[in-house]
Amino acid sequence: MDDVEFGKLLAAARSGDDEATATLLRAFEADVRMMVRARLPAILRSGFDSLDFVQAVWQSVFAGAGLAEEFANAGHFRGYLAGVARNKVFEEFRRRTRTRKFDVGREEPLYLRRGHREAPRDLPAPGPTPSQVVAADECLARIVAGRPPLEARVIDLRRLGLTFDEIAASTGLHERAVRRVIEAARKRMAAE
């Protein structure tokens, strides 16, 4: 594509011509894809397709101020796209490697190879273990031992996740009385 043709195409895309925009995308899509693939670190390849980044690049170009910039020729535009692609890939890389939540180094396969077949990995249940449930029940029993039934009910409702206002409405106590019961139970638990 020569510089004159590129200039006309870019001007038409800026004016909102859908056909010119589609032509611009087709003309530079392979370049953008290669730019992304060249910059995509191996650690991100398992979680992303290069087309995810290609779409993000084009979104930045068309939704942002990309088309408003002046480009001397197609090579200059290609260089701009390379910079946007680099920034998109590095931004995702930093996000994935700097926070523990997205640390791809912590990923483990769901299936393990055992002999000649793949077997599913044993995954821990999201809730507490049976021994944790038993220990919590024993702790609750010690906290409410010798207490009036109404106090035991308040503590049990709080354990189930109800708010102070909900417990007050359920038991007929004032919200401040519910808070005092819960605080006294916390102190007894801390003293153990």
Whether 66 and 144 map to the same domain: the answer is no
Average pLDDT for residues 22-44, to the nearest whole number? 85
Whether 42 and 101 map to the same domain: the answer is yes
Query: 111 in a domain, yes or no?
Result: no
pLDDT of residue 180: 94
CA distances from 132 to 123, 127, 137, 166, 186 (A): 17, 10, 9, 27, 19
* Per-position DSSP letters for 15-67, written without gaps between them: TT-HHHHHHHHHHHHHHHHHHHHHH--HHHHTT--HHHHHHHHHHHHHHSSGG
Q: What's the structural domain count of the chain? A: 2
Whether 22 and 93 map to the same domain: the answer is yes
Whether 16 and 64 map to the same domain: the answer is yes
Domain around 159 = 130-191
Predicted confidence band at 51 (pLDDT cuts at 50, 70, 90)? confident
Q: Which two tokens stand for residue 169?
A: 């409405």
135-146 per-position pLDDT tens digit:
988 988 888 888
pTM: 0.49
pLDDT of residue 66: 60
Type of residue found at 111 = Y
- Residue 81 belongs to a domain with what CATH number? 1.10.1740.10
Contacts of 142 (CB under 8 A, 6+ apart): 192
Whether 97 and 9 map to the same domain: the answer is yes
Nearest to 31 by CA among 80, 68, 70: 80
Mean pLDDT of the chain: 84
User: For residue 59, what are the β-bridge partners?
Assistant: none
Share of the chain above pLDDT 90, in %: 18
pLDDT at 119 over 90: no
Average pLDDT for residues 89-117, to the nearest whole number? 78
